[in-house]
Amino acid sequence: MRTRLLAALCLLAPAAALAAKDPRCAGKPAARAARFSDTALKGASAAERYAAYIQACALDDVVALTQTLVRFKTVSSEAPAAKNPEVAAMGRALESWAKQHGFGFRTVGDNDVFELSWGEGEPLLGLVFHGDVVPAAAHEWKRAPFKPVVEKGRLYGRGVEDDKGPIASGLVALAMAKDLGLKPQGKVLVIIGNGEESDWNGMKKYADTEPKPTHVISVDSGYPVMAAQSGFVAWTLEAPVGAALATPKEGTVARAVDVSAGEFLTQVPGTATLKLEPVKGQTPEAVLAAVKAAIAQEGPARRDLKAEAKREGSTVVLTAHGVAVHSSTADEGHNALWDLSAVASRLSLEDNGIAALLRVVAKRFDGDHHGDKLGLKYEDTLMGPLLVAPTVLRVKDGSVSLGVNMRRPQGKDAAAFNASLDAAAKRVGEDSGGQVKEGSGRYLGDPHVADTSGPLVKTLMDIYQRQRKAPDAVPGSIRGGTYARLFPRAVDFGPAFPNEPYTGHAPDESIALETLDLSTRMLAEAVHTLAIAPASEVKAAP
């Protein structure tokens, strides 16, 4: 069947020619589906007709539905699902969509999870996504983040890749199967959690209490199949800012009065800002000159340094620019905090908490993605090295704090890793003369590893290897944490392809239409193979 299916796909226009509209896709779903019926495509199997229908007609529907979902500003860190009117509004839109296409819909918890269902019986296949998104700072975007647009073959908007484009792919794939009269052998669920970017409690409760599908696919990371996930770590360092000295130490030029970097824990900061005021005996002009000199001195050591200084009244503002990326791919971006701390270390600053914490960043984090300078470094053969990213620096209520996000592989149990963090905190305290200490709220998540020899991984790998013509592809691991870790044997399948930039948490988040198209086709084939094909063709997981 698969050989004939691949041949049928090859008869259609390649994905690169997405702009060419197939005349068979005109009209309402019933009319479109009739052009891919067993009467219209004589001799073609149900799988072949479904694949042909998806490749010819799915993309426009996926783009349109993605745009609808992106327009809901479902930023969970600003308001949790229970109190977020945008989440509620998206739920109403999904319920309307489900009713229109003949699917069941229910809300679990207080808008914690939206569940769409197709078919009868026990849950056979679960497609897992999240409907919430991270913040989108308007000053970092060239486009309006919640007004999605298509430009030069890419769809732009907050959530188009993480995770609303994938939601649309899954829903359209199911709707088009239903259009053709196909039926699953058990219940197929589309499970949309609304707290993945903040509080997982709602989805965790769902996963713990609801019947678990035989196969669970999360579409929230990358290809080919991501069968392992690093453990999520949140770690905080803090120091009291302290009062200004009445008599500054000789040679001191300025006092740090404020510092800011990053928007949220899971994004490498694209900008970092330090505000300085002259100490007694100095002038704003002298501080500005000193900062500009420090930038010039640091430049030769950092060819990609982008920093500038300006006056705002009596305050001098130093700003460093990096490249914001998801913290799970921190080594693909450029942390603006590194540069800010390096320039600051060249200045004669009053020794308060802000200056002390910046010295710690310069000594223990700058240029090091893997925690070597903190004494934390280790790695695993499948999951790779520990990843460490300082992401959020803020002054609040007289204290300065640094939020650090880590992604830890298997190889160290929780007790051993906690001991390593204790030792790192001790080093930092010694570096700062006791000023900088670990803050409250340490969180240590465990790595997740699925069964790479089970039927789910084998099925998805077969689909990927054929569709991408990549016979040597093997299951991989991600540093990120997705809802897949809440379900036994669950894996991630897309949407990001290897060697393509992941823009999920970055400004101007986007996804190529070609990627969206191929992801939909592969997900549709997974739905057919795992849920629609006769049960004897896919053995249940043990």
pLDDT digits (tens, 9 = 90+) for 264-282: 899 999 999 999 999 999 9
Query: What confidence score (pLDDT) does residue 540 get?
Result: 40
Q: Does the pLDDT of residue 536 top 50, yes or no? A: no
Q: Given a cut of 80, is residue 538 above it in pLDDT?
A: no
Domains (ranges, CATH) in the chain?
A: 23-230+448-539 (3.40.630.10), 231-444 (3.30.70.360)
Half-sphere exposure of 298 (CA within 13 A, CB side): 23
382: pLDDT confidence band, cut at 50, 70 and 90? Answer: confident
pLDDT of res. 474: 93
For 12, the token pair is 């259609």
Q: Which residue has the higher pLDDT, 392 or 505?
A: 392
Q: What pLDDT is recorded for position 91? A: 98
Q: What are the φ/ψ torsions at residue 70 (nearest 5 degrees)? A: -65, -30
Q: Measuring CA to CA, how many Å separate 103 from each of 97, 116, 118, 231, 343?
A: 8, 6, 5, 35, 57
Per the prediction, the chain carries an average pLDDT of 93
Nearest to 337 by CA among 303, 317, 366: 366
In this prediction, residue 354 carries a pLDDT of 98
What's the pLDDT score for residue 435?
Answer: 97
Please give the distance of CA 295 from its chain centroid, rounded to a whole number: 33
pLDDT tens-digit series, residues 449-507: 888 888 999 999 999 999 999 999 999 998 878 999 999 889 999 999 998 888 988 89
Provide mean pLDDT across the span 168-188.
97
Per-residue DSSP letter, 446: P
Give residue-wise pLDDT tens across range 98-135: 999 999 999 999 999 999 999 999 999 999 999 999 99
Model confidence band, residue 533 (pLDDT cutoffs 50, 70, 90): confident
Listed in sequence order, the residues at least 6 apart from 398 whose beta carbon sits closer than 8 Å to its beta carbon are 240, 241
Q: What is the mean pLDDT of residues 142-154?
A: 97
- Is the pLDDT at 8 greater than 90? The verdict is no
pLDDT-derived band of residue 3, with 50, 70 and 90 as boundaries?
Answer: very low
Please name the helix (run of DSSP H) or strand (run of DSSP E) that holds residue 380, with its range, or none: strand 379-380
Element (H, E) at 402: strand 399-408
> Which residues neighbour 192 within 8 Å (Cβ) at sequence distance 6 or greater?
94, 113, 114, 115, 116, 129, 130, 131, 167
Mean pLDDT of 522-534: 93
Please state, as a whole number, how many other Cβ atoms lie within 10 Å of the Cβ of residue 460: 28
Q: Are β-strands 221-222 and 448-449 bridged in parallel, bridged antiparallel, or unpaired?
A: unpaired
CA distance linking residue 368 with residue 255, whole number of Å = 27
The answer on pLDDT for 5 being more than 80 is no
Output the pLDDT for position 133: 96
pLDDT more than 70, % of the chain: 95
Checking if the pLDDT of 20 tops 90, the result is: no
Whole-angstrom distance, CA of residue 502 vs CA of residue 492: 15
Burial 220-258 (b: 16+ CB within 10 A, else e): bbbbbbbbbbbbbbbbbbbbebbeeeeebeeebbbbbbb
Kindly give the pairing relationship between strand 254-261 and strand 307-312: unpaired
Q: Is the pLDDT of residue 16 over 80?
A: no
